[in-house]
Amino acid sequence: MSETEMDKQVKSGLTQESSRRPGIAGRSALAAFPVTLPVMAGYLFLGVSYGIYCHSLGLAWFYPVVIAACVYAGSAEFVLANFLLGGFQPLSVFIMIFVINARHLFYGLSMLEKFAGLGWKRLYLIFGMTDETFSINYAVAPPEGTDRGWFMLFITLFNHFYWVAGAGIGWLVGDMLTGQVKGVSFVMTALFVVIFMEQWLKDTNHIPACLGIALTVICIMVFGHEHFVIPAMAAICLMLLILRPVLRNTGKKASASKSSEERK
């Protein structure tokens, strides 16, 4: 065999081997999947709860799946599912969902630099930016041999899939447990209580939380249970803006006091 023929065979073997390797998108997907496993555990559990809750409200199977796929707003979806049973109240829905997810405004500002130059991928990354997805995309650096845009895209896509799958599975579970599950409608209340308690334990300044509770109780007494949401939200936002300088100083003092205690 001549040297030329041997070179051709070697080159052909290298070409076949490289063609069997995953491309840059495939390598990015393989690197992104293990990072999302902790999110999968949480999203499947919450998604199943959401699907069961939608079934308990009498909604068809496609409601939780479509809302999970198109709205993809976590706890706001529980609220939206409940709104579907009431009258047409677009303003109330908009204000409620906006207030619940207003923190995403700051997420977006934090990701401006990371999303720069990603082209069409940026559109889906913005849509799919949840709390957990933001945390991963912001903190985890793409491994060597992967692409930054594809890596973040697959993290977002995997997390999105977990949530939609959980919602669909939850509705099926609710359908199998028809007549056997009691108090499922309380899941939304329990979810927000857990979120509130988590924020209470994490923050050192409890004035905003106490302010929110007090203003909500007052609005319930004044406007009634059916019409208190918008006035309560407006009052809370207004008071937080007015007391912002005071709350900032109080928060700094509380954080400094906590740090000094931990050092001791």
Confidence band for 19, pLDDT divided at 50, 70 and 90? very low
* Helix (H) or strand (E) run with residue 7 in it: helix 3-20
pLDDT in tens, 23-51: 899 999 999 999 999 889 888 988 998 99
pLDDT for the residue numbered 180: 58
C-alpha 8, offset from chain centre: 53
The full DSSP string for 40-55 is HHHHHHHHHHHHHHHH
Q: Do the beta carbons of residue 32 and residue 147 sit within 8 Å?
A: no
Pick from 16-20, 196-200, 247-251: least confident: 16-20
| Residues 6+ positions from 64 with CB-CB distance below 8 Å | 50, 51, 54, 55, 77, 81, 167, 168, 170, 171
pLDDT in tens, 169-225: 999 998 887 655 666 656 656 666 776 777 777 777 778 888 888 988 998 898 887
Please count the other Cβ atoms lying within 10 Å of the Cβ belonging to residue 15: 10
How far apart are alpha carbons 211 and 49 in whole angstroms? 30
Average pLDDT, the chain: 80
Q: Where are the domains of the chain?
A: 24-176, 203-252
Single-letter amino acid, residue 264:
K
Average pLDDT value for residue range 146-161: 95
Among positive and negative, which fits the CA dihedral 188, 226, 80, 212? negative
pLDDT of residue 16: 45
Please tell me the least confidently modeled range out of 54-58, 79-83, 178-182, 237-241: 178-182
| CA torsion angle 160 165 166 172 (round to 10) | 160
71 close to 77: Cβ distance less than 8 angstroms: yes
Identify the pLDDT of residue 18.
Answer: 42
